[in-house]
Amino acid sequence: MTTPAPSLQRCSIARTLDVLGQKWSLLIVREAIWGRTRFAEFRARLGIAPDILADRLARLVEAGILERRPYRDDGERERDEYVLTDAGRALTPVLAAMVDWGDEFRPTGFGPSTVYTSRTTGEPVRLTFVDAAGVEHSPADIVPVRGPGALT
């Protein structure tokens, strides 16, 4: 994997894009969140060329997003499956934010392709900004402030 330029290493977004910014990477993560783990499943769902899929899977494993685990179906040779790590599962709100943005600003007319719901209640959930006191804030009320790791 390429290392970002020193001036970008401090930027959280640049570091994230270094891992997830290539075409197909987030779609592979999406499919893994949906429960797909096998090369053939990713390939069938995404229609991605095998060499590109192999490269993206390797990069996601190297970045700690996916973990390679061996499996063997009856009568078949051993193969690897790709399972989300904690870091991979932590991308769920990132994908949910992208879904929300796409549904609002790039609608298809068919409605949402994904509805995020509570595992326990089945009720739809939503992303929100919440402060330390538990008060919700609209994105319009949010202002980014440089953190201690930012370059000035």
Q: 64 and 22 in one domain?
A: yes
Residue 10, domain member (yes or no): yes
Residue 38, domain member (yes or no): yes
Residues in the chain: 152
Q: Provide the domain count of the chain.
A: 2
Average pLDDT, the chain: 92
Residue 73, domain member (yes or no): yes
pLDDT score for 63: 96
pLDDT score for 93: 96
Report how far residue 106's alpha carbon sits from residue 96's, in angstroms, rounded to the nearest whole number. Answer: 15
- Residue span of the structural domain in which 108 resides: 91-140
Confidence of residue 9 (pLDDT cuts 50, 70, 90): confident
Q: Which residues make beta-bridge pairs with 130?
A: 136
Report how far residue 105's alpha carbon sits from residue 59's, in angstroms, rounded to the nearest whole number. Answer: 30
β-strand pairing of 136-137 with 129-130: antiparallel
pLDDT in tens, 53-94: 999 999 999 999 999 999 998 999 999 999 999 999 999 999
Residue 56, domain member (yes or no): yes
Residue 49, domain member (yes or no): yes
Percent pLDDT > 70 in the chain is 94
Q: What is the largest CA-CA distance in the chain?
A: 60
Q: What is the CATH number of the domain that holds 70?
A: 1.10.10.10
Q: 111 and 77 in one domain?
A: no
pLDDT score for 6: 55
Q: 42 and 113 in one domain?
A: no
Report how far residue 84's alpha carbon sits from residue 82's, in angstroms, rounded to the nearest whole number. Answer: 7
